[in-house]
Amino acid sequence: MSWVLVLDYASVFIFALTGALVASRSQLDIVGFVFVACLTAVGGGTVRDVILDRGVFWVTEPSFVVVASGAAMFVFFTAHVLESRQKAIFWLDAVALAVAVPAGVGAALSVGVAWPIVLIMGVATGCFGGLMRDVVCNEVPLVLKQGEPYVTCALAGAGAALIVLTLGEPLGLALIACAVVTFVLRGGALAFGWRLPVYKSRPPRV
């Protein structure tokens, strides 16, 4: 089993948990849970595979949908025991991001695209599923929240992978570096409140 396939399975499962938790806050039925969980789980990877013109991973391996659906049903029956679903969503999302970004980087490298596309595919794989989840559930997308270093963390992780590869290290080590950098930055943002500067317009001078 390839690195990308393992990472895809892990990201699908964890992103599906976050999608189902968001569905629980919207008080959806079990079908809604499965829909939102699957959308979140496969959204980023689908965008990646369509752009790279490779077989869409969950179409080639339908077991991904089974994994996502199972995660959704698990949350449907257990979400009520969580004291803070918002906190759980944030931290699970951080873990999922740290898994999905290297999956996107590995997939892009496997088809031999240029390094800017590798960066974009890492970001797309990590961010688009959560973006779709939040839009469908009528929430402000996490990737667009004011000052939230989400896309930045994904971009930094993908960049770390390319740096490690440039140094002549193997792909496995590069993907591990990608995951670590992504999670450390995203986790730091959650734990310590790191934020990016935001644009503030100034009134024109008289």
pLDDT, tens digit, 9 for 90 and up, residues 54-111: 999 999 999 999 999 999 999 999 988 876 778 889 999 999 999 999 999 999 999 9
- In a domain, residue 197? The reply is no
What is the Cα–Cα distance from 201 to 192, expressed in whole angstroms?
27
Domain assignment of residue 91, given as a range: 3-192
Residue 192 has pLDDT above 60, yes or no: yes
Q: How many domains does the chain have?
A: 1
- In a domain, residue 156? The reply is yes
Instruction: Extract the tokens encoding 71.
Output: 């995660």
- In a domain, residue 205? The reply is no
Burial 69-102 (b: 16+ CB within 10 A, else e): bebbebbbeebeeeeebeebbbbbbbbbbbbbbb
pLDDT (tens digit per residue) in 116-133: 999 999 999 999 999 999
What is the Cα–Cα distance from 118 to 106, expressed in whole angstroms?
8
- In a domain, residue 10? The reply is yes
What is the Cα–Cα distance from 78 to 39, expressed in whole angstroms?
20
